[in-house]
C-alpha cells in the first residue's frame, strides 16, 4: 500500500475551498497590529495573541534590529554546543527574576517547550495528569515521554482527584494545566489543583502561554493572580504572545531546570533561538516591567468587549472564576455555520479565528475573538457592530 494514499484521497479542504469558505492561511501584508492589511484590504484584527500590542513598540523593534547587526541572523547550532549567546543567558536571568524563580531555560518555540519539559521529567514509571482541554503541545510532550497519561474532564476537580488516586504510591506524579485555556479563555481552577496535588504528593506545572502579561500583578501570570506563586513547581510560557517574539521557556527550581537542560531531547537537539527573537523577548519583558499598567488596560478592553458582545445579543462564554481574559469565544455551533459566518465577517473587514473539532466538541464550534491592550473602544465598537450584523443575520 502506498503511504501517500491517504493524502491523495483526503479532500476535506478541497470541498471547503470549492465552496469559497476556506478560512485558513489568509495572506497578511502588514505588521501585526490592531488594524492590518490582509489580502489587499483593511481588516480589524481580533484574532491575534499579541495581547500587549508590543510587536510594533519602537524600542522592542529596535532591539531586534540591533541584535541582528551585532550577532547576525542565527546561532547555527544547539544551545548545548555552540549556540549559547550572552543574550540567551541575560533573557533567562531576567525571566527567572520576573517570575521569582531560581532558574529559567529557553526553547525555540512554545510547542517545543512543552514537548521538551514533559518528556524530560516524566519517566517510565511516572504519570502525567492533564486537563482534557490542555494545549496540543502538552499532549505532544506526553507522547514523547515514557510515562503514562491520565486525563481529567475540563476543570473537574473531582475527576482530577480520581486520577490522582489511581497513581501507585511508588510512581511520580505531574499535574499539568493551562493557566488560561487558549480556546475558551477560561482559567484553570489552580487553587484546587494545587490543593489536590499537595494531598497526593504530585508536582504542578502551569502552561502560562496565555497568562503571562495578562493576569497577576505586573502581568506575572495565573499563579500570581491566585497568590500561588510559591506553590507552582514548573512555569512554562511563550514569547509569541505578550512578549511579541518567538520561543518559549521553563522556570522553576535550579536543580530541576538543570536536569531539563541536560536531559530534554527537544532542547539538546534543536538550534538556539535566533538573536533577534531573544532580544525582542527581552526588550518586551523590560517594557512590561516598566509599564505594569498594560495588563490593566488589557483587562479593561476585555471587559468592554465582553459587555459589548452581550449588549449586541451575541452569546459568549462567561469569564471563569469572575476573571475576564482577552480571549472571548463566540458560539457558532455547527461547522457549516462557522465557515459561513467567519467568511462573512472577514469580508466585512474583521478577522477572527474559527475553532472546529477536535479543538472543540462536536456542535460546539466557535469563533475565537482576542484583544490587545492597544485596541481602542471605538475600533472595538466598529468590529463588534460588524460581527453582530453578520451573526444575527445568520442565526435569524
For residue 320, the model assigns a pLDDT of 64
Q: How far apart are CA 166 and CA 347, in angstroms?
A: 51
Grid cell listed for 55: 510587536
Averaged pLDDT for residues 322-334: 91
Q: Are 353 and 262 members of one domain? A: no
Residues in the chain: 396
Averaged pLDDT for residues 145-165: 97
Q: Which of 238, 255, 290 is the last residue of a domain?
A: 290
Count structural domains, the chain.
2
DSSP class of 258? H
For residue 315, the model assigns a pLDDT of 87
Q: Are 244 and 321 members of one domain? A: no
Domain region containing 277: 59-290
Q: Are 79 and 104 members of one domain? A: yes
Q: Are 345 and 249 members of one domain? A: no
Q: Are 328 and 202 members of one domain? A: no
Q: Are 217 and 264 members of one domain? A: yes
Q: Which of 290, 314, 346 is the last residue of a domain?
A: 290
CATH of the domain at 117: 3.40.640.10
Q: Which residues is 369 bridged to in the sheet?
A: 328
Q: How far apart are CA 66 and CA 139, in angstroms?
A: 37
For residue 361, the model assigns a pLDDT of 82
pLDDT digits (tens, 9 = 90+) for 241-296: 999 999 999 999 999 999 999 999 999 999 999 999 999 999 999 999 999 999 99
> CA of 297: how far to CAs of 134, 182, 326, in Å?
27, 20, 11
Q: Are 188 and 286 members of one domain? A: yes
Q: Are 28 and 111 members of one domain? A: no
For residue 396, the model assigns a pLDDT of 53
Q: Which of 290, 322, 337 is the last residue of a domain?
A: 290
Averaged pLDDT for residues 215-220: 97
Q: How far apart are CA 224 and CA 80, in angstroms?
A: 32
Q: How confident is the model at residue 395 (pLDDT cuts 50, 70, 90)?
A: low
Q: Are 272 and 299 members of one domain? A: no
Q: Are 127 and 87 members of one domain? A: yes
CATH of the domain at 22: 3.90.1150.10
pLDDT digits (tens, 9 = 90+) for 181-204: 999 899 999 999 999 999 999 999
Q: Are 261 and 303 members of one domain? A: no
First to last CA, the chain: 49
Q: How confident is the model at residue 392 (pLDDT cuts 50, 70, 90)?
A: confident
Q: Are 281 and 296 members of one domain? A: no
Amino acid at each position: 500500500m502506498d503511504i501517500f494514499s491517504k493524502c491523495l484521497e483526503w479532500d476535506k479542504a478541497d470541498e471547503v475551498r470549492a465552496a469559497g469558505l476556506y478560512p485558513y492561511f489568509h495572506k497578511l501584508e502588514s505588521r501585526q497590529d490592531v488594524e492590518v492589511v490582509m489580502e489587499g484590504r483593511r481588516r480589524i484584527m481580533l484574532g491575534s495573541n499579541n495581547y500587549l500590542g508590543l510587536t510594533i513598540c519602537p524600542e522592542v523593534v529596535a532591539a531586534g534590529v540591533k541584535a541582528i547587526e551585532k550577532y547576525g541572523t542565527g546561532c547555527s547550532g544547539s544551545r548545548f554546543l555552540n549556540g549559547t549567546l550572552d543574550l540567551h543567558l541575560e533573557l533567562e536571568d531576567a525571566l527567572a527574576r520576573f517570575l521569582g524563580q531560581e532558574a529559567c531555560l529557553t526553547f525555540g518555540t512554545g510547542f517545543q517547550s512543552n514537548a521538551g519539559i514533559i518528556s524530560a521529567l516524566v519517566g517510565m514509571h511516572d504519570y502525567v495528569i492533564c486537563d482534557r482541554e490542555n494545549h496540543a503541545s502538552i499532549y505532544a510532550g506526553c507522547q514523547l515521554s515514557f510515562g503514562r497519561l491520565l486525563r481529567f474532564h475540563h476543570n473537574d476537580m473531582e475527576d482530577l482527584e480520581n486520577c490522582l488516586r489511581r497513581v501507585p504510591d511508588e510512581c511520580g506524579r505531574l499535574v499539568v494545566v493551562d493557566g488560561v485555556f487558549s480556546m475558551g479563555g477560561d482559567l484553570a481552577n489552580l487553587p484546587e489543583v494545587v490543593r489536590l496535588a499537595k494531598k497526593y504528593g504530585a508536582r504542578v506545572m502551569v502552561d502560562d502561554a496565555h497568562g503571562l502579561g495578562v493576569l497577576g500583578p505586573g502581568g506575572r501570570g495565573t499563579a500570581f493572580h491566585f497568590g500561588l506563586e510559591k506553590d507552582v513547581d514548573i512555569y512554562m510560557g511563550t514569547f509569541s504572545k505578550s512578549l511579541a517574539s518567538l520561543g518559549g521557556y521553563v522556570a522553576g527550581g535550579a536543580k530541576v531546570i538543570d536536569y531539563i537542560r541536560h536531559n530534554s531531547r527537544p532542547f539538546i537537539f534543536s538550534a538556539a533561538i535566533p538573536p533577534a527573537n531573544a532580544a525582542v523577548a527581552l526588550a518586551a519583558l523590560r517594557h512590561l516591567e516598566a509599564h505594569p499598567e498594560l495588563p490593566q488596560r488589557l483587562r479593561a478592553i476585555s471587559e468592554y468587549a465582553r459587555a459589548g458582545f452581550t449588549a449586541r445579543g451575541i452569546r459568549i462564554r462567561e469569564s471563569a472564576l469572575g476573571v475576564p481574559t482577552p480571549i472571548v469565544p463566540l458560539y457558532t455551533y455547527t461547522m457549516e455555520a462557522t465557515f459561513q459566518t467567519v467568511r462573512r465577517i472577514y469580508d466585512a473587514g474583521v478577522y477572527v479565528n474559527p475553532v472546529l473539532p477536535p479543538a472543540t466538541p462536536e456542535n460546539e464550534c466557535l469563533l475565537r475573538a482576542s484583544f490587545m491592550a492597544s485596541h481602542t473602544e471605538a475600533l472595538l465598537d466598529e468590529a463588534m457592530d460588524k460581527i453582530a450584523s453578520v451573526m444575527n443575520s445568520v442565526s435569524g
